[in-house]
Amino acid sequence: MTPSGDKKLQDRAPYHLSGGLHVTGRSRFIGEDNRPAELLFAKVVLSPYAHAQILNINTTPAAEIPGVVAVLTHLDIPGENQIGLVPQDEPLLPVDQVQYVGQPVAVVVATTPRIAEQAVSKIEVEYEELDPVLTISEALDKDQLYIPERRIKRGDVEQGLQNSEYCMEGKFATGAQEHFYLETQCCIAVPGEDHQITLYSATQSISEVQIAAARILGIQCKDVTVDVPRLGGAFGGKERTATLWACLTALACHQTEKSVELRLTRTEDMLSTGKRHPFEAVYKVGFNQNGKIQAYSVELNSNGGAYTDLSIAILERAMLHAENSYYIPNISITGRACRTNLPPNTAMRGFGAPQSIFVIEQVIERIARKLNIDPLDVRLQNIYKTGELTPYGQPIEEASGGELLERLRQNSQYLELRKSTDEFNQCHQFVKRGIGVVPVKFGISFTSAFLNQGSALIWIYEDGTISLSHGGIEMGQEVNTKVAQVVSSELGVSLARIRQESANTKRVGNASPTAASSGSDINGNAARNAALQLKKRLAEIAQQMLAARYNLKVKEPRIIFAEDRIFDTAAPDRKLNFEEVVKQTYMERVPLGAHGFYKTPGLHFDREKGVGNPFHYFVFGCALTQVEVDLLTGQSDLLKVYIVHETGRSLNPEIDRGQITGGFIQGMGWVCMEEIIADEKGRYLATGPSTYKIPTIRDLPTIFEIEMVEVDREGSSVFRSKAIGEPPFMYAEAVYFAIKDAIEALTEHEKEVELHMPATPEAVVMAAKNHIHLDSTGTT
């Protein structure tokens, strides 16, 4: 396997499609275009309680304020008071109970934001507070599950445990994480004629917003247009959550017959919206003296919050990644999604996989500690090989995890790094260094098979320029650049000819969410399908023009599109301009528009039996990190990062490198900085950047080396590329294990250190304190 590139595409990947607009401040986000005349502003009354009965809502004091146009409650909803999809369990506005702090109870619409805020403070809501359920253990005790527990099982775990030379058991918990997108939840609704409405919504799922808004307003999908130019970040936090705020805006617009804007403040956003799901896991593992796992049983319990949202799908993906990169012959995976009185937790980068991968990686570290074996060797001992089956029966084709780990060993000069780390630790009492390694196997596809479809629409105009629409949402990951590159490559034209349109339900209907790392795969293939249709039509006209102009007659013509020219390989010096072929095609009354469609092949999964092929292919990679930890203050510094990531034939190497870098840094925030704490009343205490720490440029390592391994794979997607968005997030789990390794330098090899996740300075001090003993002189 040698690093190389696809020349055809890399020649057409010179820049980031929106880069010039971003760096000059000219890129437009929702609400930054020309604003509608007589725009009204909506503000929301938020519940102060995690669980309470609504006894009365008095809106009169707010309605009497000059400038207030409307005050809306559930009684003003003309359609069905329901925004949940599967199952339908989430009202737009509550009727008799609130289920979480920050839940919208009423909406004020006014002529200015300040008047709307004033009116919100005047609404009188009488509550009877009820006892909330906030934790996983409370929910399990009360049997508050969205659905019955799910299972995936292979082999005989009990027998495997009995036959193992060593057994251990344990618990591990992972925390929540705030999405912290720069653009908060927002929507502008504009009324049209005949009950039509257009929603400019900060959503990753234009079709879901369309369906939910139509249901709320009592109209049909044809009457609702959803348009998204681009998002100022999302990370999964606008896949389902945005639907609530878009529908509230739609309701306000419908009732006032005026354009309305709703935009949350940072505090409102962080208080009211769901996070990454906290998980608690209980496991048992059996293994032999070489570290080979013989049996593994794990229970994965998630805190889903007040409504189902995407909790079931997230639990499912967590279960499907519970073994990560390792073949385990006897395995049992149990999953439970718990209903609590927190804001509905939702999609976030990795979608459940980071939580379950963390557990098995903790198991690997404990095995290595127990046996006094290098953790990298334990990982290689268990790594998947080609042809082995996952716990759900899907074959691992073209497994490269072991090879990538060996490349990582070489790139990092692992033996020398391990030796120098140990020597450093022997010479320093209160500052220790540690190393962490994590491989990743990540499945690509929505686990709900019907979502694995997409459409695209291409128009070639008479002057040879191109309009491109697809169902993907641009949110900084540059799906628009990649899809445009696909069209550019198929039609042999420069990117400058292509205008990437906003995502719009009128141009591309029934679009799946831009999620599951599949945006470029699904929409790129759909756009390619449309481009190939147009290419075939243009090639027929070009063949006629070449024959007429140059008297070129070829028995088996091979028409080539390249560098804005069209020619036959039989006479490569006789070329036609792209635009002149387009013009002639138009004159011949041959259509210059095409709708493309793509559905991911070969997907099936039986949820009752826990078997099938839920993924189109897998992405493989691995990371090594080195940290330095001050055990007295708990401060940890990231010194070195080495990543090896298999990209397939990257559509755009620089964009992919950016995704790897960004995913890793965001993951690092989750594992060692970002902590979500709710008080005993279910209110989040961190509601802004002053109380919630995310990584900054100061947290970058001194050495950050990324090797992108480009190789042809049968298991890949458009132009043999692989998805990139989510897998790098899990690499950052190596930072946590490096911190743990540094603390464990204080102990004998079989003694374990319990380190809370995230590994904040407080957590590090708590983990180290029992292993640091000072005498009267202040030395250990």
Active site residues: 726
* Beta-bridge partners for 623: 438, 643
Alpha helices in 621-777 (DSSP H): 653-672, 727-731, 733-743, 761-768
Distance CA 532, CA 529 (A): 5
Is there a contact between 209 and 242 (Cβ–Cβ < 8 Å)? yes
Distance CA 245, CA 343 (A): 14
Is there a contact between 272 and 161 (Cβ–Cβ < 8 Å)? no
Q: Is 87 left (phi over 0), alpha (psi -120 to 50) or beta?
A: beta
Q: Look at strands 166-174 and 124-129 and give their pairing.
A: unpaired
Distance CA 92, CA 386 (A): 48
Q: Is 388 exposed, middle or buried (0-12, 13-18, 19+ CB in 10 A)?
A: middle
Is there a contact between 511 and 207 (Cβ–Cβ < 8 Å)? yes
Query: 124-135: b or e for each residue (b if 16 or more CB lie within 10 Å)?
Result: ebebeeeebbbb
Q: Look at strands 224-228 and 197-201 and give their pairing.
A: parallel
Distance CA 546, CA 295 (A): 67
CB atoms within 10 A of CB 46: 18
Q: List the Cα angle 488/494/497 in 5-degree steps.
A: 90
Distance CA 743, CA 673 (A): 17
E strand or H helix at 681:
none
Q: What is the 3-state secondary structure (H, E, C) of 524-582?
A: HHHHHHHHHHHHHHHHHHHHHHHHHHHCCCCCCCCEEEECCEEEECCCCCCEEEHHHHH
Give the three-state DSSP class for 253.
Answer: helix
